[in-house]
Structure 1
Protein backbone atom coordinates (compact mmCIF):
# COMPACT_ATOMS: atom_id res chain seq x y z
CA UNK A 1 0.00 0.00 0.00
CA UNK A 2 1.06 3.58 -0.70
CA UNK A 3 -0.21 6.33 1.61
CA UNK A 4 0.39 10.01 0.85
CA UNK A 5 -0.69 12.44 3.55
CA UNK A 6 -0.73 16.22 3.09
CA UNK A 7 2.48 16.28 1.05
CA UNK A 8 3.76 19.73 0.13
CA UNK A 9 6.97 20.92 -1.48
CA UNK A 10 8.18 24.51 -1.82
CA UNK A 11 11.08 25.83 -3.86
CA UNK A 12 11.51 29.34 -2.52
CA UNK A 13 8.20 31.12 -3.11
CA UNK A 14 6.99 28.47 -5.56
CA UNK A 15 4.77 25.70 -4.23
CA UNK A 16 5.36 22.73 -6.53
CA UNK A 17 3.12 20.36 -4.53
CA UNK A 18 0.38 21.66 -2.25
CA UNK A 19 -1.26 19.46 0.42
CA UNK A 20 -1.58 16.30 -1.68
CA UNK A 21 -3.18 13.21 -0.12
CA UNK A 22 -4.18 9.87 -1.65
CA UNK A 23 -3.78 6.13 -1.16
CA UNK A 24 -3.05 3.21 -3.49
CA UNK A 25 -4.48 -0.13 -2.39
CA UNK A 26 -3.18 -3.65 -3.09
CA UNK A 27 -4.75 -5.23 -6.15
CA UNK A 28 -5.24 -1.92 -7.96
CA UNK A 29 -3.63 0.27 -10.59
CA UNK A 30 -3.83 3.97 -9.74
CA UNK A 31 -3.43 6.41 -12.63
CA UNK A 32 -1.63 9.57 -11.49
CA UNK A 33 -2.43 12.24 -14.06
CA UNK A 34 -1.71 15.90 -14.68
CA UNK A 35 -0.25 18.29 -17.26
CA UNK A 36 3.44 19.16 -17.43
CA UNK A 37 4.49 21.08 -14.35
CA UNK A 38 1.53 19.85 -12.30
CA UNK A 39 3.72 18.29 -9.58
CA UNK A 40 3.50 14.60 -10.52
CA UNK A 41 7.23 13.86 -10.71
CA UNK A 42 7.94 15.85 -7.55
CA UNK A 43 5.29 13.86 -5.71
CA UNK A 44 6.73 10.55 -6.92
CA UNK A 45 10.23 11.63 -5.89
CA UNK A 46 8.98 12.47 -2.41
CA UNK A 47 7.26 9.08 -2.11
CA UNK A 48 10.55 7.40 -3.07
CA UNK A 49 12.62 9.45 -0.62
CA UNK A 50 14.58 11.29 -3.32
CA UNK A 51 13.14 14.74 -2.54
CA UNK A 52 12.44 15.79 1.06
CA UNK A 53 8.94 17.23 1.54
CA UNK A 54 8.37 20.66 3.01
CA UNK A 55 5.38 19.24 4.87
CA UNK A 56 3.45 16.00 5.06
CA UNK A 57 4.59 12.40 4.72
CA UNK A 58 4.42 9.37 2.45
CA UNK A 59 4.72 5.69 3.33
CA UNK A 60 5.15 2.56 1.24
CA UNK A 61 4.29 -0.80 2.82
CA UNK A 62 3.59 1.09 6.03
CA UNK A 63 6.91 2.93 6.44
CA UNK A 64 8.77 5.80 4.74
CA UNK A 65 10.65 4.51 1.69
CA UNK A 66 14.07 5.33 3.18
CA UNK A 67 13.34 3.07 6.16
CA UNK A 68 12.63 0.02 4.02
CA UNK A 69 15.23 -2.70 4.41
CA UNK A 70 16.49 -3.72 0.95
CA UNK A 71 13.80 -1.57 -0.77
CA UNK A 72 14.16 -3.24 -4.17
CA UNK A 73 12.63 -6.39 -2.67
CA UNK A 74 9.55 -4.41 -1.56
CA UNK A 75 9.11 -1.60 -4.10
CA UNK A 76 9.95 -1.46 -7.79
CA UNK A 77 10.68 2.06 -9.03
CA UNK A 78 11.06 3.45 -12.54
CA UNK A 79 11.27 7.24 -12.58
CA UNK A 80 13.72 7.78 -15.46
CA UNK A 81 14.46 5.10 -18.04
CA UNK A 82 17.58 6.97 -19.15
CA UNK A 83 19.15 6.90 -15.67
CA UNK A 84 21.13 3.74 -16.41
CA UNK A 85 24.86 3.24 -16.89
CA UNK A 86 25.33 3.62 -20.64
CA UNK A 87 28.49 1.49 -20.73
CA UNK A 88 26.97 -1.64 -19.20
CA UNK A 89 25.05 -4.28 -21.06
CA UNK A 90 21.44 -5.03 -20.21
CA UNK A 91 22.51 -8.29 -18.59
CA UNK A 92 25.19 -6.55 -16.50
CA UNK A 93 22.70 -3.90 -15.37
CA UNK A 94 20.31 -6.50 -13.97
CA UNK A 95 23.06 -8.75 -12.63
CA UNK A 96 24.52 -5.92 -10.55
CA UNK A 97 21.05 -5.03 -9.30
CA UNK A 98 20.45 -8.67 -8.35
CA UNK A 99 23.72 -8.83 -6.39
CA UNK A 100 22.87 -5.56 -4.62
CA UNK A 101 19.51 -7.01 -3.54
CA UNK A 102 21.02 -10.34 -2.53
CA UNK A 103 19.28 -12.21 -5.35
CA UNK A 104 20.50 -15.08 -7.49
CA UNK A 105 21.79 -13.68 -10.79
CA UNK A 106 20.45 -16.78 -12.52
CA UNK A 107 17.06 -15.06 -12.66
CA UNK A 108 18.40 -12.29 -14.93
CA UNK A 109 17.87 -13.99 -18.34
CA UNK A 110 14.29 -14.86 -17.45
CA UNK A 111 13.52 -11.29 -16.34
CA UNK A 112 15.02 -9.86 -19.52
CA UNK A 113 12.96 -12.25 -21.62
CA UNK A 114 9.81 -11.34 -19.67
CA UNK A 115 10.12 -7.71 -20.81
CA UNK A 116 10.92 -8.64 -24.40
CA UNK A 117 14.72 -8.23 -24.38
CA UNK A 118 16.27 -11.28 -26.06
CA UNK A 119 19.81 -12.64 -25.68
CA UNK A 120 21.14 -10.30 -28.37
CA UNK A 121 19.67 -7.25 -26.64
CA UNK A 122 21.00 -8.47 -23.29
CA UNK A 123 24.57 -8.35 -24.67
CA UNK A 124 24.25 -4.84 -26.09
CA UNK A 125 25.47 -1.74 -24.25
CA UNK A 126 22.69 0.41 -22.86
CA UNK A 127 24.00 3.37 -24.87
CA UNK A 128 22.87 1.49 -27.99
CA UNK A 129 19.36 0.92 -26.65
CA UNK A 130 16.39 2.83 -28.01
CA UNK A 131 14.20 4.65 -25.48
CA UNK A 132 11.68 1.84 -25.72
CA UNK A 133 14.35 -0.75 -24.92
CA UNK A 134 15.49 1.33 -21.95
CA UNK A 135 11.91 1.40 -20.70
CA UNK A 136 11.74 -2.37 -20.93
CA UNK A 137 15.05 -2.71 -19.09
CA UNK A 138 13.81 -0.28 -16.45
CA UNK A 139 10.68 -2.36 -15.94
CA UNK A 140 12.79 -5.51 -15.64
CA UNK A 141 14.91 -3.70 -13.03
CA UNK A 142 11.83 -2.55 -11.12
CA UNK A 143 10.33 -6.04 -11.04
CA UNK A 144 13.57 -7.92 -10.43
CA UNK A 145 13.10 -8.29 -6.67
CA UNK A 146 9.47 -9.50 -6.91
CA UNK A 147 8.18 -6.36 -5.18
CA UNK A 148 4.64 -5.86 -3.90
CA UNK A 149 4.52 -2.25 -5.14
CA UNK A 150 5.42 -0.59 -8.44
CA UNK A 151 5.93 3.18 -8.81
CA UNK A 152 6.29 4.14 -12.47
CA UNK A 153 6.72 7.55 -14.10
CA UNK A 154 5.88 7.58 -17.83
CA UNK A 155 6.91 3.94 -18.40
CA UNK A 156 5.32 3.85 -21.88
CA UNK A 157 7.47 6.66 -23.33
CA UNK A 158 9.25 5.34 -26.40
CA UNK A 159 7.19 2.16 -26.65
CA UNK A 160 5.45 1.34 -29.92
CA UNK A 161 1.72 0.41 -29.91
CA UNK A 162 2.55 -3.27 -29.46
CA UNK A 163 4.84 -2.42 -26.55
CA UNK A 164 2.18 -0.25 -24.91
CA UNK A 165 -0.34 -3.08 -25.20
CA UNK A 166 2.21 -5.48 -23.70
CA UNK A 167 2.94 -3.13 -20.79
CA UNK A 168 -0.77 -2.71 -20.08
CA UNK A 169 -1.13 -6.49 -19.75
CA UNK A 170 1.97 -6.72 -17.56
CA UNK A 171 0.66 -4.11 -15.09
CA UNK A 172 -2.85 -5.56 -15.07
CA UNK A 173 -1.48 -9.03 -14.32
CA UNK A 174 0.72 -7.62 -11.54
CA UNK A 175 -2.25 -5.89 -9.87
CA UNK A 176 -4.54 -8.88 -10.31
CA UNK A 177 -2.03 -10.94 -8.32
CA UNK A 178 -2.42 -8.48 -5.43
CA UNK A 179 0.26 -5.94 -6.33
CA UNK A 180 -0.05 -2.18 -5.98
CA UNK A 181 0.71 0.03 -8.99
CA UNK A 182 1.07 3.82 -9.04
CA UNK A 183 1.33 4.85 -12.69
CA UNK A 184 2.00 8.34 -13.99
CA UNK A 185 1.44 8.75 -17.73
CA UNK A 186 0.34 11.20 -20.42
CA UNK A 187 -1.20 8.35 -22.44
CA UNK A 188 -4.72 8.89 -21.19
CA UNK A 189 -6.41 6.17 -23.21
CA UNK A 190 -3.94 3.59 -21.94
CA UNK A 191 -4.44 4.74 -18.36
CA UNK A 192 -8.20 4.55 -18.84
CA UNK A 193 -7.83 0.98 -20.12
CA UNK A 194 -5.73 -0.31 -17.20
CA UNK A 195 -6.42 1.88 -14.14
CA UNK A 196 -8.87 1.10 -11.34
CA UNK A 197 -8.49 4.47 -9.59
CA UNK A 198 -7.53 7.94 -10.75
CA UNK A 199 -5.75 10.85 -9.10
CA UNK A 200 -5.68 14.06 -11.16
CA UNK A 201 -3.33 16.86 -10.12
CA UNK A 202 -2.97 20.39 -11.44
CA UNK A 203 -1.03 23.35 -10.12
CA UNK A 204 0.36 21.11 -7.39
CA UNK A 205 -3.09 20.33 -5.95
CA UNK A 206 -5.44 17.37 -6.26
CA UNK A 207 -8.23 18.25 -8.69
CA UNK A 208 -10.14 15.00 -8.29
CA UNK A 209 -9.58 11.39 -7.24
CA UNK A 210 -11.52 8.20 -6.80
CA UNK A 211 -12.76 5.06 -8.52
CA UNK A 212 -12.34 5.41 -12.28
CA UNK A 213 -15.82 4.24 -13.22
CA UNK A 214 -17.45 6.43 -10.60
CA UNK A 215 -15.53 9.52 -11.71
CA UNK A 216 -16.27 9.01 -15.38
CA UNK A 217 -19.88 8.06 -14.77
CA UNK A 218 -20.65 11.04 -12.54
CA UNK A 219 -19.14 13.70 -14.73
CA UNK A 220 -22.40 15.56 -15.44
CA UNK A 221 -23.51 17.07 -18.76
CA UNK A 222 -21.51 19.01 -21.34
CA UNK A 223 -23.37 22.02 -22.73
CA UNK A 224 -22.38 24.44 -25.49
CA UNK A 225 -24.84 27.37 -25.45
CA UNK A 226 -25.19 29.75 -28.37
CA UNK A 227 -24.98 32.60 -25.88
CA UNK A 228 -23.14 31.80 -22.62
CA UNK A 229 -24.58 34.87 -20.87
CA UNK A 230 -28.15 33.78 -21.63
CA UNK A 231 -27.29 30.32 -20.30
CA UNK A 232 -26.33 31.83 -16.94
CA UNK A 233 -30.03 32.41 -16.32
CA UNK A 234 -30.67 28.69 -16.89
CA UNK A 235 -27.98 27.79 -14.35
CA UNK A 236 -29.52 30.17 -11.82
CA UNK A 237 -32.95 28.62 -12.33
CA UNK A 238 -31.49 25.13 -11.80
CA UNK A 239 -29.52 26.42 -8.79
CA UNK A 240 -26.28 24.82 -10.00
CA UNK A 241 -22.81 26.07 -10.93
CA UNK A 242 -21.30 25.27 -14.29
CA UNK A 243 -17.59 24.70 -14.92
CA UNK A 244 -16.42 26.51 -18.06
CA UNK A 245 -13.71 25.08 -20.30
CA UNK A 246 -11.45 26.85 -22.75
CA UNK A 247 -13.24 25.22 -25.71
CA UNK A 248 -16.48 27.08 -24.94
CA UNK A 249 -18.32 24.18 -23.30
CA UNK A 250 -19.77 24.19 -19.81
CA UNK A 251 -19.93 21.18 -17.51
CA UNK A 252 -23.21 21.20 -15.59
CA UNK A 253 -23.92 18.83 -12.65
CA UNK A 254 -27.41 17.93 -13.86
CA UNK A 255 -29.11 15.46 -16.19
CA UNK A 256 -29.32 16.35 -19.91
CA UNK A 257 -33.14 16.23 -19.93
CA UNK A 258 -33.39 18.63 -17.01
CA UNK A 259 -31.03 21.09 -18.70
CA UNK A 260 -32.79 20.79 -22.06
CA UNK A 261 -36.22 21.53 -20.56
CA UNK A 262 -34.91 24.50 -18.57
CA UNK A 263 -33.13 25.92 -21.62
CA UNK A 264 -36.22 25.49 -23.79
CA UNK A 265 -38.41 27.21 -21.21
CA UNK A 266 -35.97 30.14 -21.11
CA UNK A 267 -35.66 30.29 -24.91
CA UNK A 268 -31.92 29.58 -24.75
CA UNK A 269 -30.40 27.85 -27.78
CA UNK A 270 -28.03 24.94 -27.08
CA UNK A 271 -25.55 23.91 -29.76
CA UNK A 272 -24.36 20.84 -27.87
CA UNK A 273 -25.85 18.75 -25.08
CA UNK A 274 -24.45 15.35 -24.05
CA UNK A 275 -23.39 13.30 -21.04
CA UNK A 276 -19.83 14.25 -20.06
CA UNK A 277 -18.86 10.63 -19.50
CA UNK A 278 -19.20 9.97 -23.24
CA UNK A 279 -15.81 11.59 -23.80
CA UNK A 280 -14.08 9.31 -21.30
CA UNK A 281 -10.95 10.12 -19.35
CA UNK A 282 -9.50 12.40 -22.00
CA UNK A 283 -12.42 14.81 -21.80
CA UNK A 284 -12.51 14.77 -18.01
CA UNK A 285 -8.77 15.42 -17.86
CA UNK A 286 -8.90 18.36 -20.28
CA UNK A 287 -11.87 19.87 -18.49
CA UNK A 288 -10.25 19.63 -15.07
CA UNK A 289 -6.80 20.83 -16.09
CA UNK A 290 -8.06 23.70 -18.24
CA UNK A 291 -9.60 25.23 -15.12
CA UNK A 292 -7.24 23.81 -12.50
CA UNK A 293 -4.13 25.55 -13.82
CA UNK A 294 -0.47 24.47 -13.65
CA UNK A 295 2.74 25.81 -12.32
Structure 2
Protein backbone atom coordinates (compact mmCIF):
# COMPACT_ATOMS: atom_id res chain seq x y z
CA UNK A 1 0.00 0.00 0.00
CA UNK A 2 1.16 3.51 -0.88
CA UNK A 3 -0.54 6.47 0.78
CA UNK A 4 0.14 10.08 -0.20
CA UNK A 5 -1.42 12.79 1.97
CA UNK A 6 -1.42 16.51 1.12
CA UNK A 7 2.08 16.25 -0.34
CA UNK A 8 3.48 19.60 -1.53
CA UNK A 9 6.72 20.98 -2.89
CA UNK A 10 7.58 24.61 -3.44
CA UNK A 11 10.79 25.97 -4.98
CA UNK A 12 10.82 29.63 -4.04
CA UNK A 13 7.78 31.19 -5.71
CA UNK A 14 7.16 28.09 -7.85
CA UNK A 15 4.64 25.54 -6.56
CA UNK A 16 5.73 22.29 -8.19
CA UNK A 17 3.33 19.98 -6.31
CA UNK A 18 0.33 21.24 -4.35
CA UNK A 19 -1.51 19.10 -1.76
CA UNK A 20 -1.39 15.86 -3.72
CA UNK A 21 -3.26 12.94 -2.13
CA UNK A 22 -3.94 9.45 -3.48
CA UNK A 23 -3.46 5.75 -2.72
CA UNK A 24 -2.02 2.82 -4.65
CA UNK A 25 -3.42 -0.45 -3.34
CA UNK A 26 -2.06 -4.01 -3.24
CA UNK A 27 -3.08 -6.28 -6.09
CA UNK A 28 -3.41 -3.48 -8.62
CA UNK A 29 -1.46 -1.32 -11.04
CA UNK A 30 -1.98 2.40 -10.44
CA UNK A 31 -1.21 4.60 -13.43
CA UNK A 32 0.17 8.03 -12.49
CA UNK A 33 -0.45 10.27 -15.49
CA UNK A 34 0.38 13.83 -16.37
CA UNK A 35 2.09 15.94 -19.03
CA UNK A 36 5.74 16.91 -18.74
CA UNK A 37 6.23 19.29 -15.82
CA UNK A 38 2.99 18.25 -14.12
CA UNK A 39 4.77 17.10 -10.95
CA UNK A 40 4.89 13.31 -11.40
CA UNK A 41 8.63 12.83 -10.90
CA UNK A 42 8.79 15.35 -8.05
CA UNK A 43 6.00 13.50 -6.26
CA UNK A 44 7.74 10.15 -6.69
CA UNK A 45 11.03 11.59 -5.48
CA UNK A 46 9.31 12.89 -2.35
CA UNK A 47 7.71 9.49 -1.79
CA UNK A 48 11.10 7.76 -1.90
CA UNK A 49 12.97 10.24 0.29
CA UNK A 50 15.05 11.85 -2.47
CA UNK A 51 13.34 15.25 -2.29
CA UNK A 52 12.14 16.69 1.03
CA UNK A 53 8.50 17.83 0.85
CA UNK A 54 7.48 21.35 1.79
CA UNK A 55 4.35 19.93 3.41
CA UNK A 56 2.40 16.70 3.67
CA UNK A 57 3.59 13.14 4.00
CA UNK A 58 3.66 9.78 2.27
CA UNK A 59 3.90 6.24 3.59
CA UNK A 60 4.76 2.93 1.98
CA UNK A 61 3.61 -0.21 3.76
CA UNK A 62 2.45 2.03 6.58
CA UNK A 63 5.67 3.97 7.28
CA UNK A 64 7.72 6.69 5.58
CA UNK A 65 10.18 5.28 3.05
CA UNK A 66 13.16 6.43 5.15
CA UNK A 67 11.89 4.38 8.12
CA UNK A 68 11.78 1.09 6.20
CA UNK A 69 14.50 -1.32 7.33
CA UNK A 70 16.55 -2.33 4.28
CA UNK A 71 14.09 -0.53 1.96
CA UNK A 72 15.17 -2.38 -1.20
CA UNK A 73 13.74 -5.56 0.30
CA UNK A 74 10.32 -3.91 0.53
CA UNK A 75 10.16 -1.30 -2.25
CA UNK A 76 11.61 -1.53 -5.75
CA UNK A 77 12.29 1.90 -7.25
CA UNK A 78 13.19 2.99 -10.79
CA UNK A 79 13.21 6.75 -11.28
CA UNK A 80 16.00 7.24 -13.84
CA UNK A 81 17.34 4.36 -15.91
CA UNK A 82 20.31 6.46 -17.03
CA UNK A 83 21.52 7.07 -13.46
CA UNK A 84 23.92 4.13 -13.56
CA UNK A 85 27.72 4.00 -13.67
CA UNK A 86 28.60 3.74 -17.35
CA UNK A 87 31.85 1.90 -16.62
CA UNK A 88 30.29 -0.97 -14.70
CA UNK A 89 28.62 -4.00 -16.21
CA UNK A 90 24.97 -4.81 -15.65
CA UNK A 91 25.97 -7.79 -13.53
CA UNK A 92 28.23 -5.62 -11.37
CA UNK A 93 25.41 -3.13 -10.76
CA UNK A 94 23.16 -5.90 -9.50
CA UNK A 95 25.90 -7.54 -7.45
CA UNK A 96 26.47 -4.28 -5.59
CA UNK A 97 22.75 -3.98 -4.97
CA UNK A 98 22.56 -7.56 -3.75
CA UNK A 99 25.51 -6.97 -1.41
CA UNK A 100 23.89 -3.88 0.10
CA UNK A 101 20.59 -5.70 0.60
CA UNK A 102 22.18 -8.85 2.00
CA UNK A 103 20.88 -11.06 -0.80
CA UNK A 104 22.28 -14.35 -1.99
CA UNK A 105 24.51 -14.05 -5.06
CA UNK A 106 22.27 -16.28 -7.19
CA UNK A 107 19.59 -13.61 -7.04
CA UNK A 108 21.65 -11.53 -9.49
CA UNK A 109 21.50 -14.20 -12.19
CA UNK A 110 17.80 -14.75 -11.55
CA UNK A 111 17.08 -11.05 -11.97
CA UNK A 112 19.10 -10.77 -15.18
CA UNK A 113 17.29 -13.80 -16.56
CA UNK A 114 13.94 -12.30 -15.60
CA UNK A 115 14.51 -9.13 -17.63
CA UNK A 116 16.24 -10.78 -20.60
CA UNK A 117 19.79 -9.63 -19.89
CA UNK A 118 21.37 -12.98 -19.13
CA UNK A 119 24.57 -14.21 -20.79
CA UNK A 120 26.82 -11.74 -22.57
CA UNK A 121 24.40 -8.82 -22.17
CA UNK A 122 24.76 -8.91 -18.40
CA UNK A 123 28.55 -8.64 -18.75
CA UNK A 124 28.53 -5.63 -21.06
CA UNK A 125 29.33 -2.18 -19.69
CA UNK A 126 26.40 0.14 -19.06
CA UNK A 127 27.94 2.70 -21.42
CA UNK A 128 27.34 0.25 -24.27
CA UNK A 129 23.71 -0.39 -23.33
CA UNK A 130 20.81 1.01 -25.32
CA UNK A 131 18.17 2.96 -23.38
CA UNK A 132 15.88 -0.05 -23.54
CA UNK A 133 18.58 -2.27 -22.01
CA UNK A 134 19.12 0.28 -19.25
CA UNK A 135 15.41 0.23 -18.54
CA UNK A 136 15.48 -3.56 -18.28
CA UNK A 137 18.45 -3.37 -15.92
CA UNK A 138 16.67 -0.74 -13.82
CA UNK A 139 13.63 -3.00 -13.56
CA UNK A 140 15.91 -5.90 -12.61
CA UNK A 141 17.40 -3.78 -9.82
CA UNK A 142 13.93 -2.76 -8.63
CA UNK A 143 12.92 -6.42 -8.44
CA UNK A 144 16.21 -7.63 -6.96
CA UNK A 145 15.06 -7.63 -3.33
CA UNK A 146 11.73 -9.37 -4.10
CA UNK A 147 9.77 -6.29 -2.90
CA UNK A 148 6.09 -5.89 -2.17
CA UNK A 149 5.85 -2.47 -3.84
CA UNK A 150 7.15 -1.11 -7.15
CA UNK A 151 7.51 2.62 -7.92
CA UNK A 152 8.50 3.11 -11.56
CA UNK A 153 8.90 6.41 -13.40
CA UNK A 154 8.51 6.02 -17.19
CA UNK A 155 9.81 2.42 -17.28
CA UNK A 156 8.65 1.86 -20.88
CA UNK A 157 10.74 4.75 -22.22
CA UNK A 158 13.16 3.31 -24.79
CA UNK A 159 11.58 -0.13 -24.93
CA UNK A 160 10.59 -1.56 -28.30
CA UNK A 161 7.08 -3.02 -28.81
CA UNK A 162 8.24 -6.47 -27.71
CA UNK A 163 9.82 -4.94 -24.61
CA UNK A 164 6.66 -3.02 -23.76
CA UNK A 165 4.61 -6.21 -24.13
CA UNK A 166 7.06 -8.03 -21.83
CA UNK A 167 6.94 -5.26 -19.22
CA UNK A 168 3.15 -5.23 -19.31
CA UNK A 169 3.02 -8.93 -18.48
CA UNK A 170 5.67 -8.59 -15.80
CA UNK A 171 3.86 -5.83 -13.94
CA UNK A 172 0.44 -7.44 -14.24
CA UNK A 173 1.88 -10.66 -12.85
CA UNK A 174 3.47 -8.76 -9.95
CA UNK A 175 0.13 -7.15 -9.11
CA UNK A 176 -1.77 -10.42 -9.51
CA UNK A 177 0.48 -11.92 -6.81
CA UNK A 178 -0.62 -9.16 -4.41
CA UNK A 179 2.03 -6.54 -5.14
CA UNK A 180 1.46 -2.80 -5.35
CA UNK A 181 2.56 -1.04 -8.56
CA UNK A 182 2.72 2.73 -9.06
CA UNK A 183 3.56 3.40 -12.70
CA UNK A 184 4.24 6.86 -14.09
CA UNK A 185 4.05 7.29 -17.84
CA UNK A 186 3.13 9.59 -20.70
CA UNK A 187 2.47 6.53 -22.93
CA UNK A 188 -1.28 6.79 -22.49
CA UNK A 189 -2.15 3.75 -24.60
CA UNK A 190 0.04 1.53 -22.46
CA UNK A 191 -1.46 2.86 -19.24
CA UNK A 192 -4.94 2.31 -20.66
CA UNK A 193 -4.06 -1.36 -21.22
CA UNK A 194 -2.24 -2.15 -17.99
CA UNK A 195 -3.63 0.08 -15.22
CA UNK A 196 -6.54 -0.79 -12.93
CA UNK A 197 -6.61 2.61 -11.25
CA UNK A 198 -5.73 6.04 -12.63
CA UNK A 199 -4.39 9.15 -10.92
CA UNK A 200 -4.09 12.16 -13.21
CA UNK A 201 -2.00 15.18 -12.22
CA UNK A 202 -1.97 18.52 -14.00
CA UNK A 203 -0.01 21.64 -13.00
CA UNK A 204 0.91 20.04 -9.68
CA UNK A 205 -2.59 19.08 -8.53
CA UNK A 206 -4.65 15.92 -8.82
CA UNK A 207 -7.40 16.42 -11.41
CA UNK A 208 -8.77 12.87 -11.51
CA UNK A 209 -8.53 9.79 -9.29
CA UNK A 210 -10.52 6.61 -9.81
CA UNK A 211 -10.79 3.28 -11.54
CA UNK A 212 -10.11 3.27 -15.24
CA UNK A 213 -13.67 2.18 -15.97
CA UNK A 214 -15.19 4.97 -13.87
CA UNK A 215 -13.03 7.71 -15.34
CA UNK A 216 -13.54 6.64 -18.93
CA UNK A 217 -17.30 6.20 -18.51
CA UNK A 218 -17.44 9.75 -17.19
CA UNK A 219 -16.15 10.91 -20.57
CA UNK A 220 -19.74 10.84 -21.89
CA UNK A 221 -21.24 9.56 -25.15
CA UNK A 222 -19.79 9.64 -28.64
CA UNK A 223 -22.33 10.22 -31.41
CA UNK A 224 -21.95 10.53 -35.18
CA UNK A 225 -24.60 11.35 -37.77
CA UNK A 226 -25.13 11.49 -41.53
CA UNK A 227 -25.50 15.26 -41.26
CA UNK A 228 -23.08 16.66 -38.62
CA UNK A 229 -24.63 20.13 -38.80
CA UNK A 230 -28.12 18.79 -38.19
CA UNK A 231 -26.80 16.67 -35.33
CA UNK A 232 -25.22 19.74 -33.71
CA UNK A 233 -28.49 21.65 -34.05
CA UNK A 234 -30.31 18.74 -32.42
CA UNK A 235 -27.89 18.66 -29.48
CA UNK A 236 -28.22 22.43 -29.04
CA UNK A 237 -32.01 22.20 -29.06
CA UNK A 238 -31.89 19.46 -26.43
CA UNK A 239 -29.58 21.64 -24.28
CA UNK A 240 -26.91 18.93 -24.21
CA UNK A 241 -23.29 19.97 -23.69
CA UNK A 242 -20.92 18.60 -26.32
CA UNK A 243 -17.66 19.09 -28.16
CA UNK A 244 -16.57 18.00 -31.62
CA UNK A 245 -13.81 15.51 -32.42
CA UNK A 246 -11.29 15.78 -35.22
CA UNK A 247 -13.09 13.17 -37.30
CA UNK A 248 -16.50 14.86 -37.25
CA UNK A 249 -18.19 13.15 -34.31
CA UNK A 250 -19.42 14.74 -31.08
CA UNK A 251 -18.69 13.80 -27.48
CA UNK A 252 -21.79 14.62 -25.43
CA UNK A 253 -21.86 15.00 -21.65
CA UNK A 254 -24.96 12.84 -21.34
CA UNK A 255 -25.95 9.18 -21.30
CA UNK A 256 -26.52 7.19 -24.47
CA UNK A 257 -30.21 7.04 -23.67
CA UNK A 258 -30.44 10.85 -23.46
CA UNK A 259 -28.60 11.32 -26.75
CA UNK A 260 -30.69 8.66 -28.48
CA UNK A 261 -33.92 10.28 -27.27
CA UNK A 262 -32.82 13.70 -28.51
CA UNK A 263 -31.83 12.51 -31.98
CA UNK A 264 -35.05 10.51 -32.31
CA UNK A 265 -37.15 13.51 -31.28
CA UNK A 266 -35.58 15.73 -33.93
CA UNK A 267 -35.37 13.06 -36.62
CA UNK A 268 -31.59 13.06 -36.94
CA UNK A 269 -30.06 9.94 -38.48
CA UNK A 270 -27.32 8.53 -36.25
CA UNK A 271 -24.59 6.26 -37.63
CA UNK A 272 -22.67 5.71 -34.38
CA UNK A 273 -23.68 5.91 -30.74
CA UNK A 274 -21.46 4.55 -27.96
CA UNK A 275 -19.67 5.38 -24.76
CA UNK A 276 -16.91 7.93 -25.30
CA UNK A 277 -14.50 5.62 -23.49
CA UNK A 278 -13.84 4.14 -26.91
CA UNK A 279 -12.18 7.42 -27.81
CA UNK A 280 -9.45 6.27 -25.45
CA UNK A 281 -7.60 7.55 -22.46
CA UNK A 282 -5.81 10.24 -24.42
CA UNK A 283 -8.98 12.27 -25.00
CA UNK A 284 -9.87 12.15 -21.30
CA UNK A 285 -6.30 12.97 -20.28
CA UNK A 286 -6.05 16.02 -22.55
CA UNK A 287 -9.41 17.33 -21.43
CA UNK A 288 -8.64 16.93 -17.73
CA UNK A 289 -5.17 18.45 -17.80
CA UNK A 290 -6.28 21.33 -20.02
CA UNK A 291 -9.56 22.26 -18.35
CA UNK A 292 -9.48 21.15 -14.73
CA UNK A 293 -5.95 21.89 -13.51
CA UNK A 294 -5.76 25.16 -11.71
CA UNK A 295 -3.08 27.79 -12.20
CA UNK A 296 0.22 27.61 -10.35
CA UNK A 297 0.67 29.64 -7.19
CA UNK A 298 3.12 32.40 -8.01
CA UNK A 299 2.91 34.48 -4.88
Common fold: TM-score over 0.5 = yes
Equivalence for 1:146: 146
SS in 1 for 2:133: helix
Instruction: Describe the superposition over 1:216-272 as per-residue Cα deviations: whole angstroms up to 9, x where unpaired.
Output: 23321246974999789547x46xxx4768969875431234235447768999998
Equivalence for 1:171: 171
How many angstroms does 1:292 deviate by? 3.5
Partners of 1:206 and 1:222 in 2: CA distance: 26
Equivalence for 1:134: 134
Q: TM-score, normalised by structure 1?
A: 0.88
Is it true that 1:198 corresponds to 2:198 in the alignment? yes
SS in 2 for 1:172: helix
* Contact 2:234 2:262 (8 Å CA) reproduced: no
Equivalence for 1:75: 75
Instruction: Describe the superposition over 1:40-62 as per-residue Cα deviations: whole angstroms up to 9, x where unpaired.
Output: 11111111111111111110010
Partners of 2:290 and 2:11 in 1: CA distance: 24
* Contact 2:76 2:143 (8 Å CA) reproduced: yes
Q: 1:245 to 1:184 in 2, by over 3 A?
A: farther
Equivalence for 1:187: 187
Q: Give 5+ residue unaligned stretches, structure 1.
A: none
Equivalence for 1:20: 20
1:92-131 pair list within 5 angstroms: 92-131=92-131
Partners of 1:54 and 1:234 in 2: CA distance: 50
Equivalence for 1:254: 254
Q: Figure out how many residues of one structure are paired with residues of the other and give that number.
A: 291
How many angstroms does 1:99 deviate by? 0.4
Equivalence for 1:60: 60
SS in 2 for 1:51: coil
Q: 1:267 to 1:289 in 2, by over 3 A?
A: farther
Q: TM-score, normalised by structure 2?
A: 0.87
Q: 1:58 to 1:125 in 2, by over 3 A?
A: same
Equivalence for 1:34: 34
Partners of 1:250 and 1:18 in 2: CA distance: 34
* Contact 1:203 1:292 (8 Å CA) reproduced: no
Instruction: Describe the superposition over 1:113-158 as per-residue Cα deviations: whole angstroms up to 9, x where unpaired.
Output: 1100021011111111000000000000000000000000000111
Partners of 2:9 and 2:267 in 1: CA distance: 50
How many angstroms does 1:76 deviate by? 0.2
How many angstroms does 1:105 deviate by? 1.7
Q: Give 5+ residue unaligned stretches, structure 2.
A: none
Instruction: Describe the superposition over 1:66-122 as per-residue Cα deviations: whole angstroms up to 9, x where unpaired.
Output: 111110001000000000111111111000000001111222111101100021011
* Contact 1:245 1:287 (8 Å CA) reproduced: no
How many angstroms does 1:20 deviate by? 1.1
Q: 1:57 to 1:223 in 2, by over 3 A?
A: farther
Q: 1:150 to 1:260 in 2, by over 3 A?
A: same
